Structure formats: C-alpha cells, structure tokens
Amino acid sequence: NAGVTQTPKFQVLKTGQSMTLQCAQDMNHNSMYWYRQDPGMGLRLIYYSASEGTTDKGEVPNGYNVSRLNKREFSLRLESAAPSQTSVYFCASSLGASNTGELFFGEGSRLTVL
C-alpha cells in the first residue's frame, strides 16, 4: 500500500524556472493538501482541495498554482521559482470533512532555488 507518493524527491532550480510537483494517493481520500516546511518550523498550508474539482488557497499561496487532476492526483506548480521558495514540500491527504481530519503525508520533496 503506497499511501501518498510525491515526485520528485529532490530538485534544484534556477531563479525564474518553472516546475511541477506531483502527488498521488491510493487511499480513495477526498481531500488533498500541499504544505511547505522551512527549517525549524511547522508546516504551512499552501493550497488544499476539499474534494475533486475544488481548490482553495491556504496561508501562503503566492507564487504557486495547483491542479486537482482527478481524485487521486494533486499537483503543485511553481511558475517562476524564487529563492524564497526553497523549502521542503509535503503533500497530504485525508478522508474528508466528515472524518476526524487525520492527515496522511508523503515523504516530501526538497526544492532548492538558486
């Protein structure tokens, strides 16, 4: 059982380059999330998707876009990367609003923007 799978695990970009982080879950969860984690800090929500076909901004959405491609997949796109976006990105999923809210996380994608 793979759970939540993120790709790539590591990426180095130059300022201004674009890239997409991919996330897929195989638990038939309704809700999916993208977080970033900076050194010594907790996670901050970038975007979330409560259900297939919907996306909403979190705390720190500037510089990012998302696509909920289908129920399984939720991608995060950086259109023009900036050094401030150097971080570890985590995708997570949960069953949905009616449940307890437990999140299942991927292993993270470590992004460096030079």
Partner 1 sequence: SQQGEEDPQALSIQEGENATMNCSYKTSINNLQWYRQNSGRGLVHLILIRSNEREKHSGRLRVTLDTSKKSSSLLITASRAADTASYFCVLRAGSSYKLIFGSGTRLLVRP
Does 44 sit near partner 1 (CB under 8 A)?
yes
Q: Which two tokens stand for residue 108?
A: 């993270």
- Distance CA(75)–CA(6), nearest Å, equals 9
Q: What is the total residue count of the chain? A: 114
Tell me the per-residue interface mask from 81 to 100 with partner 1, x by CB under 8 A, - otherwise. ---------x-x----x--x
Vertex 33: Cα angle to 35 and 63 (nearest 5): 55
Does 61 sit near partner 1 (CB under 8 A)?
no
Q: How far is CA 46 from the centre of its chain?
A: 7
Instruction: By CB under 8 A, name the one of 17, 19, 22, 50 that touches partner 1.
Output: 50
Binding site for partner 1 (CB under 8 A): 4, 31, 33, 35, 40-45, 48, 50, 56, 58-59, 90, 92, 97, 100-108
